[in-house]
């Protein structure tokens, strides 16, 4: 009987000290398994002399085994709860722990310029129009008075898309080289008077350098109404220049050539220090373009302009190289 009591007490003492699920598992084998001490004592029951002795000792062993089993169950549950508590503590995320001011991002320089341009032109009474970046040859060139083989096509180093439209010819799907096709799409879907701007992404096979990117952004302007003249164009460009850059800035038009405007001009803006910078092209919408847009040139007249948003952004912020705007260097982006 003292062997049974000693084995039980030793087992219960050890079990009470177990601290991990692994230890409890090991003790389960050691104390409650077939090769355990109590199991060994049970096998020795046969060596006792009387039935009564066997009964008493057998009952004591069973009682001891039940006590050990219960202690193991209890310990197993306790260490499992501890382990869970530990894991929760380890994985705790203290959201109040952050000290200091979180760094806030901001819109890209081009996006900032794009959104300000929209604001200024909407303030002048324009609406924002859109067109697809993948265009048909017809919208990008033909309808803009640049038929097949027109020499001006050569100025746009065009990227072609493999797609062949149903019933169409290969090589007639392009990445738009300018935002001017939005002029055509607008005229075809809207009745004049038309006062729209169309900012967007355009593509050319230009090698990147300080002033060129193969993917860049333009903003187009189109006005179609009755009795629109070159004076309206010049006045609009000047109103825009002062609204966007400031009161001390001026604008001028210089004769130029675009197939889709006649007459055509380049427009420059003058900084308060007196220096001039070229911004974009403009002119009176060519009668052929009005016709392609489904409008009668005898009844309607209009002007259009287009300029580079990226170039304007680098001018405004004094950035030396357009490529810097598209690097992933945060030290650059964080300056603006």
Q: Which residues are near ligand FA5 by CB under 6 A?
A: 178, 180, 204, 206, 212-213, 216, 218, 220, 258, 261, 280-283, 304-308, 310-311
For residues 68 and 279, which CB has a smaller minimum distance to ligand FA5 in the complex? 279
For residues 76 and 211, which CB has a smaller minimum distance to ligand FA5 in the complex? 211
- Min CB(307)–ligand FA5 separation in Å: 5
Helices (H), the chain: 2-17, 21-32, 37-43, 51-90, 109-123, 137-140, 181-189, 230-244, 287-292, 309-317, 330-333
- Min CB(96)–ligand FA5 separation in Å: 47
CA atoms within 13 A on the CB side of 154: 3
For residues 218 and 236, which CB has a smaller minimum distance to ligand FA5 in the complex? 218
For residues 15 and 196, which CB has a smaller minimum distance to ligand FA5 in the complex? 196
- Min CB(88)–ligand FA5 separation in Å: 55
For residues 31 and 245, which CB has a smaller minimum distance to ligand FA5 in the complex? 245
CA distances (Å), origin 28, targets 23, 31, 72:
9, 6, 7
Q: How far apart are CA 97 and CA 127, in angstroms?
A: 47
Q: The dihedral of CA 230, 233, 235, 238: what is its sign?
A: negative
CB-based contacts of 211, cutoff 8 Å, min separation 6: 311, 322
Q: How far apart are CA 4 and CA 269, in angstroms?
A: 104
Q: How far apart are CA 244 and CA 333, in angstroms?
A: 22
Q: Which residue is nearest to ligand FA5 (CB)?
A: 308
For residues 71 and 282, which CB has a smaller minimum distance to ligand FA5 in the complex? 282
- Min CB(152)–ligand FA5 separation in Å: 10
Q: How far apart are CA 265 and CA 257, in angstroms?
A: 7
- Min CB(154)–ligand FA5 separation in Å: 12
For residues 153 and 178, which CB has a smaller minimum distance to ligand FA5 in the complex? 178
- Min CB(324)–ligand FA5 separation in Å: 13
What number of other Cβ atoms are within 10 A of residue 169's Cβ? 9
Indicate the pairing of strand 215-225 with strand 134-136. Answer: unpaired
- Min CB(214)–ligand FA5 separation in Å: 7
């Amino acid at each position: 009987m003292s062997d049974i009591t000693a084995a039980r007490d030793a087992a219960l003492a050890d079990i009470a000290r177990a601290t991990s699920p692994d230890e409890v598992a090991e003790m389960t084998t050691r104390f409650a398994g077939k090769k355990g001490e109590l199991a060994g004592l049970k096998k020795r029951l046969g060596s006792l002399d009387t039935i009564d002795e066997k009964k008493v000792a057998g009952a004591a062993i069973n009682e001891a085994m039940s006590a050990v089993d219960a202690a193991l169950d209890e310990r197993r549950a306790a260490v499992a709860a501890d382990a869970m508590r530990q894991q929760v503590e380890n994985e705790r995320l203290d959201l109040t722990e952050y000290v200091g001011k979180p760094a806030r991002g901001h819109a890209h320089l081009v996006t900032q310029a794009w959104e300000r341009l929209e604001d200024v032109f909407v303030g002048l009474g324009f609406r924002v129009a859109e067109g697809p970046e993948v265009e048909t040859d017809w919208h990008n060139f033909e309808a803009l008075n640049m038929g097949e083989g027109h020499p001006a096509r050569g100025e746009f180093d065009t990227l072609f898309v493999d797609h062949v439209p149903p019933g169409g010819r290969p090589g007639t799907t392009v990445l738009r080289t300018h935002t001017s096709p939005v002029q055509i799409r607008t005229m075809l879907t809207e009745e004049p008077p038309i006062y729209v701007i169309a900012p967007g992404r355009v593509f050319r096979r230009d090698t990147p350098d300080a002033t060129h990117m193969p993917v860049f952004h333009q903003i187009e302007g189109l006005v179609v109404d009755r009795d629109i003249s070159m004076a309206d164009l010049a006045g609009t460009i000047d109103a825009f220049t002062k609204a966007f850059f400031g009161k001390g800035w001026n604008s001028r038009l210089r004769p130029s050539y675009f197939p889709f405007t006649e007459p055509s001009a380049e427009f420059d803006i003058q900084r308060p220090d007196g220096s001039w910078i070229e911004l974009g092209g403009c002119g009176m919408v060519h009668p052929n373009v009005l016709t392609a847009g489904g409008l009668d040139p005898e009844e309607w007249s209009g002007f259009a302009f287009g300029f580079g948003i990226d170039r304007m952004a680098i001018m405004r912020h004094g950035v030396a190289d357009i490529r810097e705007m598209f690097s992933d260097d945060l030290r650059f982006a964080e300056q603006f």
